[in-house]
Amino acid sequence: MRNFFDYLFVTVKGICMGAADVIPGVSGGTIAFMTGIYEELVASINSINGTAVKLLFTGKFRQFWKHINGNFLVSLIAGILISIFSLAKLMQYLLNYQPIQTWAFFFGLIVASSIFILRGVKGWKVKDFVMLALGIVLGVVVCTLSPTETPDGLWFIFLCGAIAICAMILPGISGSFILLVLGKYEYMMSRIANIVSGTGTGLDFLAVIVFAVGAATGIIAFSKFLHWLLQHYHRETLLVMAGFIIGSLVKVWPWSDKATLVMSQYPELMALDETGGLTDQIVAQYYATIDPHVGGAVAFALAGFLLVVGIEVASSVVSRRRGAGDR
């Protein structure tokens, strides 16, 4: 039987998960596994089923709350939200004013994540290489053929929430990375940052609410499918995911967004961009004069890589100790 402090500790774990989910390449699922709540999290999500709905709509609220492990879920979600809302403004600032270093950091995170996913695959066969190559091609195609600007319509925000939340519960796969591929990472960070700073408009609140509804819908609708997929096609799923992540690295190449790089080093051009006057010709002219910060990019990419290595090593140590304790 948990007491108040036990649930407070669950909230702290949620804060750690939220911090990971804000950073592309670091999985909140991995943090959940490290802190010993992953199995309870998956079980609690899977308990939101027909039985739970029946209990809710027949007025058996106490039984419903116990069935879905409500105290645990609320404590964890509260921690995740605290972390996301706390870090959103920082991420918005870094993406606007330190884009090269920030994207390089993400690049290192994602490279390391893909390596650790592949590290779990033993006894490679021809089919495995085909599945990996399929994932790489898919990642490149999605990131290069999809429009740079994805729709801002509420239907697409809902869809992003539904897809990203499923990735958040998988160790090794980052939900924020999925948002990055869908072109809505910066968009959602700026919406949340506006709300935190007190300058949020009705559209900001609406976008966040719709995203949250999409996430709730997605995790209920797709978590069982993902669980089934990993149970029956675990190897193939991991290989395609790893390949997709590798292929999607084209999306986070630190020098790909020339307009953002130019504005980060020439802030006076931001006003021009807001009025639609920042043409490709002006961007090209200023881009030729910017500092590429290659040394800083390498350092931050290495830092991101080592962060994931550290998390994965810690996760392995925790797993071994837990296994030893069970014997």
- DSSP conformation class of 256: S
- Average pLDDT, integer, range 264-288: 84
Render pLDDT for 294-318 as a digit per residue (tens, 0 to 9): 999 999 999 989 988 887 787 777 6
3-state secondary structure 52-115: HHHHHHCCCHHHHHHHCCHHHHHHHHHHHHHHHHHHHHHHHHHHHHCHHHHHHHHHHHHHHHHH
The helix or strand, by DSSP H or E, that contains position 307, with its residue range, turns out to be: helix 294-326
What pTM value is reported for the model? 0.70
Residues in CB range of 301: below 8 A, 6 or more apart: 104, 105, 107, 108, 111, 254
In whole angstroms, give the CA distance from residue 16 to residue 32: 9
Mean pLDDT of the chain: 83
Angle made by CA atoms 156, 161, 165, in degrees to the nearest 5? 150
What pLDDT digit, counting tens, does each position of 76-121 carry?
999 998 988 888 888 888 888 888 998 898 888 888 878 877 887 8
Q: Is the pLDDT of residue 327 over 60?
A: no
Distances (CA, A) of 12 to 60, 70, 136: 30, 17, 36
83-105 burial, b if ≥16 CB within 10 A, otherwise e? bbbebbbebbebbbebbbbbbbb
User: Tens digit of pLDDT for each residue in 165-174?
Assistant: 876 666 556 7
Other C-beta atoms within 10 Å of 60: how many?
Answer: 13
Using alpha carbons only, what angle is made at residue 287 by residues 299 and 137, rounded to the nearest 5 degrees?
65
Please write the tens of the pLDDT for every residue from 189-235: 889 988 988 888 899 999 999 999 998 888 877 767 766 776 788 78
